[in-house]
Every structure is written in C-alpha cells, then in structure tokens.
A and B are shown apart, each in its own frame.
Chain A
Amino acid sequence: MSVATAPRARLARRGGWPEALTSTDHKQIGLNLGACSLFFFLLGGVFALILRTQLAQSNMQVLSDNSYNEIFTMHGSTMIYLFVTPMAVAMATYLVPLQIGAVRLSAPRLSLAGFWTWLAGGLVMESSWLTADGAGRTGWSSYVPMSNSTNTPGVGQDLWVIGVILVALGLTAMSICVTVTVARRRAPGMALLRMPVFTWTALLSVLMIVAAFPMLILAMTLLFIDRTGAGHIYTGFAGAIDYQDLFWFFGHPVVYVMFFPYLGGAAEAVAVNAHKRWFGYTAFVVSIMMFSALSMAVWSHHMYTTGGVTNQYFAFTSTLLLVPAGIEYFDMIGTLIGGAIVLRASMLFALTFFLQFLVGGLSGVFVASPVLDYHAYGTYIVVAHFHYTLFAGSIFGFFAAAYHWFPKLTGALLREGLGKLQLAVMVIGTNLTFFPMFFLGNDGMPRRVSRYPTHPEWGTLNLLETIGAGIIALGVLIFLINVIVSLRRRIVAGDDPWLGHTLEWATTSPPPPLNFEAPLPPVRSYAPLLDLREQQLDRERRLEGAPA
C-alpha cells in the first residue's frame, strides 16, 4: 500500500464550502467538476428544448434566425465543452486514483487550478448571452470565415472564443494530473495489464486531451487575434482550410474523449452485474489503444467535401475504426455469455448504451465514406449520427456509471425503480427524437436552419422529434428526483453493494480523505476483489470436500 504519512488530524474535514472549493482532494475536485458539468447539462438541455420548439413545425416564430443561431451554437458548445467532456475528466479525476489504489492524485494543485480555469471558461462562454450582440452564434466548431469579425462582429463571439480557450486550458491541466497519477501511483502489484477497464479508458482519454487540446487552444487563439484585427492569419480559402485542420485535429479526438470513459463505465457495470471478469481484457486494452490512436488520425473526415484534404487516406483510417469497435462489442458479449446476470438499472443503462451506440457507430461507417458523405454532409443525417453516439451512447453510458458509482460517491443507493423508469422513458424519448433525423437528413433537410419548407412528412417527423425531446427532459427530471430522494431518504449502500471487482469497492463509501484506511487486498489481476471472492469460495469448497 502507498504510504502517506501526513497526520490524519490535519486532513480536511468535509463540510464547509470554503474547504470544498479549495480542497486538493481528487474526490472533491472530481465532485465539483461533475456537479458543475451536470448543471451545464441541464442548461444545454434547456437550449435543446427551445430549438426543438422552434422546429416543431415548419414556420414557427419562437426564435429569430439570429437567436436560433445563438441557441444551437450554445447548445452544442455547452454540451461538448461544459458537460460531456468535463464529466469524462471528472469521472477520471474521482475514480482513477481509487481504482489504482492510490491515496491521492499527483499534482493536485494543478488539477484544482485546472478546474477553476475550466469553470471560468464556462462562465465566460455563457456570459456572452449578456452582451448586446448576443452569444456565440457560429456553431460549436466556429468555422472561419463565418466566425471572423467581419461576418460575426461583437464581443459575444469574442467571449465565446475566450471561453473555449479557458475550457481547453483547464481540462488539459486536469488531464496531465490523471496521466501522471496512473504512471506513478499504482498500488503494489498493479502492473499496467492489471489496471481496471475504466482506468484504461480514462488514461487514453486524458492522453488524447493532452495531445489534441493544445490545437484547439491554438486555433482559437489565432481566431481571437484575427478578430481583434491584430492579425490576418485565416485568410482566403487556405486560411479556412487551415482553421478546419487545426480545429478537427482536436474535434475528432474529443469525440472519443466523450466516449471512452463512458464505455469504460458501461463495461465495468456489465462485468460486475454479470458477476464475471471483463472478457478478453488484453485484446480490449490493445484495441482501445489502437482505437484512440486511430481517432487521432482521422480528423479530416470532417472535411471531405472541402476539396482540401486527401479523402482516401482519411476514409481508410476512419473505416479502420470498425476493427477496435468490433472487439469491444465482442468482449461485451463474451462477458455476458455464461454470466449470472442481474438486470439492475446500471446494467440496463450499460446494455442500452451498447445497443444505441451501435446505431451511431454504424451510421458512422456511412459518413466515413466520402462518396456517401457528399450526400450526408450538412444534413440531419450527421445530426442523427452524432446524437446517437453522444446522447444515445455516451449519456446512457454516463447514467450506467452514475447508477454504478453513486453509492461509492455518497454512501447511498439510487432507487432502482426510478432508475428503470428513467431508462424506459429515455429510450423512448431518445429514439423518437433522433431516429427521424435519419429520414429527414436523407430527404435533404439541412442542419442549422430555423425554418424548413412546409411539407407534410417533414412536419410530422419534426413534431415527433420535438415530442421526443420533451420525453427526454422528463427522463432527466426523473433522474434528478431520484438523486434528491436517494440523498434525503438514504438507503445505506455499504462499502461494496454490487460485489465489485476493483479497488474502489475495497474502501468505505464515500472513501476517507486518503482513500484507503485498511490495507489494500493483493492485486494479482484486473479484478482483485473478484480474485479474493473466488479464493474464498475455493477454500470453502475444499473444506467441504475434506474428510472430517
């Protein structure tokens, strides 16, 4: 066990908010980041509902064109920069040290400073609403020349750009801490190939952040310089392509940052609820290493139709992504086969994550093909595709993780009944909202428009989507009620309510300041607690079989 000899009496006592806000305990930093992300999730959700209200029928007058641009920009930006990505980092910051048996995070001050930089970025970005010219309004990708000061003047767009820079700085700092922690603080016995599945997914996510997010900072800094009039960097066609190259060098990997930790969470939930160790562990590790590296080498597939990239190479690497993705599904099925499966809310969310992500993944095969992408580009097919990966996929993975680890974070169980109700409601809402988008897109409905031609079929499909969005909101509301009810009228979880496999279940719920008070169990595989239980069972069997 790691030895930290700081006197216990001097460690922060939980309670007061000044302690909570300045704490260098990775659990507190993770909780703070997670809680703020969740708040932004609700905000981004409200933006989505406003968008869907405008689109419910062909000529609704809820929003002006300009406000529509602001709302869809801030919906995407809030969800990506302020919820799904930071929530992934929050999960890594909270869980990774526990899973690897470390008593603390490396460089916790850097992580804390990163959290505050990120939060400042979020507030700056949302503060663009308060400006006279309105919020950021050129999409989450903010393409040049649309986003330059001639086409989108005003301080609101400047604040959006600054917000993105701060967010990227903060998350990069926090990711460095997780990377170093995994490298330096694993418990005795925990060789690399004994790290839990979630830890692997988190490690690769933070590596992608460290390698790719600086390009976002660079892209946005240059855009800001251009906007102030101090430079002429992104000029002409070449400038527009350069911006996109820089942006998508970050923009594709971030999709995987928004996927891996949720995949890891769902995988842990599947393994624990099947009472089996994750099947094909080594293949899984190798495959997600390939998966994440490949995802750093596909960025130009967002630019097929610009004529400024080599489509063949990027189509090749993009299609290659199928191989590691297939291995993950194979492993998931292998874990289920022969398992003693318990269909808890976490398990159901995890299985739904895998099923619905399949729709997102398979539609990705289509848009990875340049020929088909010329048809799909800029239409609702793309919107359907990435909402199936990010919402139907990652968000369901997030809820799987939430139901799985909430007891560890709080010491209380979430209500199973409400969880299953939430799942049912959200499955209906999600598919009602996003599946019709495939038909609309295939029919040529462009994305990012506030009005569309009056056409009976389009009207019906859009109305269905709007109803679906309302149903999703209901699902999220059920989750919030569940959290409040479960915290108010607590059902005590105990240290290890699910018979977990990994070290975080070997400590109290919530864990103490230095994570582990009792000595850690020996680590001989990636499921040390399962090893212990199997040994115990073996011993009991041998005693039963032994002559009296």
Chain B
Amino acid sequence: MRGGAIAILAWATVLLVLFIGNWIWDAKPVNAATAAFAAVVTYATGVALWLARREALRPGPPAPRSEPESVPQSSLAAVLIGLSVGTILFGLAWANFLVYFGAGILVLSLGRLVLELRSERATRRRLLGEEEPR
C-alpha cells in the first residue's frame, strides 16, 4: 500500500498542468469540461487511496501485510451483473422487454453479490478469530 497514491497524484498533476495550458490556448467549454473531468477522476482515485490508508502518500517500499483476508474463488453474481448490464443496453436498441428482463437479473445478481460479500466477511472474521489465541 505504501506510496500507492503518489504515482497517481503525480500523474494527475502533470495532466492538470497540460490541461491548464490547453485552457489558456483553446478555451472551449467542451474541452474544459472533459479535461476537468479527467483531472478530477485521477485526483479522486489518488485521494481515495490515501483516505483508505494514509501510508498511500508515504514514499518508500511497502511493509509485509499481516492481516488475513479471504480470497473469493468465483462469483456468479459478478458474471450476472456484467451480462445483465449487457442485456439492458442491448434491449434499449433491440426490444424493450429485454430491458425489464435485464433489470430483473441485475436486481437478483446484486442480491447474490450481497450474500457473497457477507459470506466472505464471515470467513474473514472466522480467520481473525482463529488467529487471536496465538
């Protein structure tokens, strides 16, 4: 984790400088908006990483991770989410019933995603519990 946000924020800053140049010489509202969006997204990524863990802004090599994590091996929910988004958009161009069908699958797969995440969290808690006596 250590230092993870630095590269992203550095890159965002170079972007910002270039976009300011672009704005000075080519002040079109569309260009200003797209450029601002890109800069904001990149900065936001860096800031989110920093908020998750402060060491993201500390330079130097990362230390070993010690906390256990449970690793998912498969996810039907993720597959269905991808496919249902595809079905909804396909339906917009092809046939309206597919939009409703896709939306139904999306709701179900989001439900399944919640279950998957809960069981993952439970596994993690169990692992933490097992580790504690040591």
> What residues of chain A have their CB less than 8 Å away from a CB belonging to chain B?
1-6, 10-12, 19, 21-25, 103-104, 108-110, 112-121, 123-124, 127, 155, 158-159, 161-162, 165-166, 169-170, 179-180, 182-192, 194, 203-204, 207, 210-212, 214-215, 224, 242, 245-246, 249, 289-290, 292-294, 296-297, 300, 309-310, 312-314, 317, 513-514, 523
Known contacts A179-B45, A183-B4; A116/B83 CB under 8 A: yes
Known contacts A159-B93, A184-B49, A249-B34; A112/B82 CB under 8 A: yes
- Provide the main secondary structure of the chain A interface: helix
Known contacts A166-B89, A289-B10; A246/B34 CB under 8 A: yes
Question: Which residues of chain A are within 8 angstroms of B22 by Cβ–Cβ distance?
Answer: 297, 313, 317
Shortest distance from the beta carbon of A205 to any chain B beta carbon, whole Å:
12
State in angstroms the CA–CA spacing of A420 and B85 once bound together. 43
Q: Count B interface residues, CB 8 Å.
A: 70
User: Which residue of the partner chain A has the closest CB to B86?
Assistant: A120
B78 contact from A109, A312, A314, Cβ within 8 A: A109
Are B90 and A124 touching (Cβ within 8 A)? Answer: yes
Are A4 and B41 touching (Cβ within 8 A)? Answer: no
Chain B 68-92 against A: per-residue CB contact (8 Å), 1 yes, 0 no?
1111111111110111011101101
Shortest distance from the beta carbon of B100 to any chain A beta carbon, whole Å:
17
Are A297 and B21 touching (Cβ within 8 A)? Answer: yes
Tell me if B103 is interfacial: C-beta within 8 Å of chain A.
no
Tell me if B107 is interfacial: C-beta within 8 Å of chain A.
no
**A-B contacts, 8 listed (Cβ < 8 Å):** A4-B71, A5-B127, A19-B74, A24-B72, A116-B81, A182-B7, A245-B30, A313-B22
Shortest distance from the beta carbon of A425 to any chain B beta carbon, whole Å:
38
B82 contact from A117, A155, A224, A245, Cβ within 8 A: A117
User: Which residue of the partner chain A has the closest CB to B25?
Assistant: A313
Question: Which residues of chain A are within 8 angstroms of B2 by Cβ–Cβ distance?
Answer: 191
State in angstroms the CA–CA spacing of A165 and B79 once bound together. 18
Are B123 and A6 touching (Cβ within 8 A)? Answer: yes
Are B79 and A112 touching (Cβ within 8 A)? Answer: yes
Are A155 and B93 touching (Cβ within 8 A)? Answer: yes
Shortest distance from the beta carbon of A312 to any chain B beta carbon, whole Å:
7
User: Which residue of the partner chain A has the closest CB to B39?
Assistant: A211
Question: Which residues of chain A are within 8 angstroms of B131 by Cβ–Cβ distance?
Answer: 5
